[in-house]
A and B are shown apart, each in its own frame.
Chain A
Amino acid sequence: MTHRPGHGGVVRRRDLFNYQNDPDYPGAPAIKSAGAINVKPVIKNIYSGLTSPVPSKPTPYVEGESPASKTEARYQLGLGPNNLLSELWYGIKPENTQYGGVSTKNTVRPSQTTAGTTGGTTAGGLTGMTAEEALALAKFNYEKEKDANKLAGLQALQNNFGSGFDELLNMIAEQGKVSEKQTQNVYDTAVKNIGQGYDAARDLGASGYAALNQYLRENPNNPYAGMVAQTGTPADAMSNFLQAYGVSDSPVQAQVQADILQSGQGAANFQNLINTLGAIAQQSDVSRGAESQMAQLAFDTGLGQDRAGYQTQAENAKMQALAALQKAMFESQFSVAQQRNAQAMALAQTIAELGGTAPTNNGGGNDGDGKNKKMPPATSGNNNGFVSTSYDVNQPVPWSANPLENIQLQNLATSQSNAGQTVDPYELLQALNARRGR
């Protein structure tokens, strides 16, 4: 767009319908029919030199039914795109006219139906538009309807896609419960095996010590018990022989008694020796019994410690398994939630780009209360039930600060109005400029 210097931002009426300056209307053809109202053409721009925030009123051509006159005629009918401008420009209250103006809900404009995609070109008439504009308009309507369908499909998907993630989360939760139960079962089995193994080992070890104790009882080791040191037979004193010769045997008897005493002392010493050895052997037997009891106690204690250690290991393994399970579940849930948020964000972004409104939750999924919430279709805040994209057909024509753009916008708005189309003139202008490479 080029800005014409010298106007100071003021759009003069003469410029608004100066088709010589509007690239969209080079040599605009004369309008054949302008409806039932005959509008007198105005030659002069009586508002030149005035500055106002209200756009200038379109200045009709002198000859015949120009686009300007047609615009005025449509305002007369109540088909003007802006009620305020209708009142300012022509003193017409559109709500009192045939079609009731922009804000009227009851009026159905023929070209606002879906037929406007293709059929609107003839039904409403594209009089006053060039073939290029008509093609652009048709394409624009087609794109708009496609966008609307796409938006509706995406919003439907947005309302339902969360259920798949909910199902995944439920599967993860169910699998977690199953895994936790299996972990508990494995732990119970391990504890049962630990107990059974302990009982078997304890019985086996006890049987060994029982056999040892029985052997100790039945085989006391004291071979010295019952041993008695015998004294020798006293020697013959030859008493009879000596008495036969009248000799006394007293010295011989003394000798024999001394030998007997010596033999007795030797026997007593030997008896003391075997008694000492017997006592030592007896103590050894008692020590063996105590040793057996101590060994059995050590065995029982060690076995009990083993069992406690195994139980601790089983409990640790259970805790680790549960911790790993929780971690895995969290990671799975996190991954699902991440994907869900990413998809929801992408979907919401796409819908927003198409002009829809994204719901606050993730498309009907669980938002805390476990219930799916259906989102109403986005309408861009209007109340006409039309699923809009980036504009509202009931909104006034957006005016630009660029006078040339304003000219183009107004002309396009007029053409749209004449054709019964509801395309946003500003978007249409952008589309046209894009086609022209501007």
Chain B
Amino acid sequence: MAYNPADYEARRRGYVSQYGTTGAMNAYANFLSQQRGNRERQNLNEQYDKATPQLVRNFSRRGMVGPNVRSGLFARGLQDFAKQRARTFSEFDQGQQEQQRAYDLSEANRLESFKNQLLDMESEKAQTIANAARELYQRRMGVV
């Protein structure tokens, strides 16, 4: 097997190009995902901001809340609302976070694979050089 440095340089450029292109696409997808998450979170926040006054008016219309009036149902209703709001945002944030971790892990794996490609190529190149050296030696000795 003859050693040709140009072959390895072409392969290396192909690996780098493929890694860069895929990385850019993934990064852009990740950016869009984050943007979408931010918008969804903002919508959730707006929805809860609008729902809070309505909840108080509903209890007030039924006479469960007012001046010098503090019913247990009203207190329980506010606590449940606050807990639901906290859980909704917590779950949403965790979902976004896991999505980001998946992206990061995918990129790390992709980088590891890319580096392995280059290392494999370098190992192959060294072996090719060694084989070429032995072949040249054999040619010089008239064996080949």
Contacts and interface: CB of A to CB of B under 8 A. Distances in A.
Interface of A: 193-194, 197-198, 200-202, 204-205, 207-209, 211-212, 215-216, 219, 221-224, 227, 229-238, 241-242, 245-249, 251-252, 255-256, 259-260, 262-263, 266-267, 270, 273-274, 277, 281, 284, 288, 291-292, 295-296, 299, 302-303, 306, 310
Given A252-B86, A284-B116, 4 more contacts: A212-B123, A242-B82, A302-B134, A306-B141
Interface in B102-124: 104-105, 107-109, 111-112, 115-116, 118-119, 122-123
Contact of B79 (A223, A242, A302): A242
Interface of B: 52, 56, 65, 70, 74-75, 78-79, 81-83, 85-87, 89-91, 93-94, 96-98, 101, 104-105, 107-109, 111-112, 115-116, 118-119, 122-123, 125-130, 132-134, 136-138, 140-141, 143
17 contacts: A208-B129, A208-B130, A208-B133, A216-B119, A223-B108, A223-B109, A232-B90, A242-B82, A245-B75, A245-B78, A247-B79, A256-B90, A274-B108, A277-B109, A303-B133, A303-B137, A306-B137
A238 B85 contact: yes
B85 A236 contact: yes
B82 A193 contact: no
The 3 lowest CB-CB distance pairs between A and B, nearest first, are A208-B129, A259-B90, A201-B137
B79 A194 contact: no
B65 A219 contact: no
A255 B133 contact: no
B29 to A, nearest CB: 19
A208 B138 contact: no
| Binding site secondary structure of chain A | helix
A335 B87 CA distance: 115
A208 B137 contact: no
Contacts of B83: 251-252, 255
Contacts of A204: 129-130, 132-133, 136
A308 to B, nearest CB: 12
A273 B130 contact: no
Nearest to B59: A245
B126 A295 contact: yes
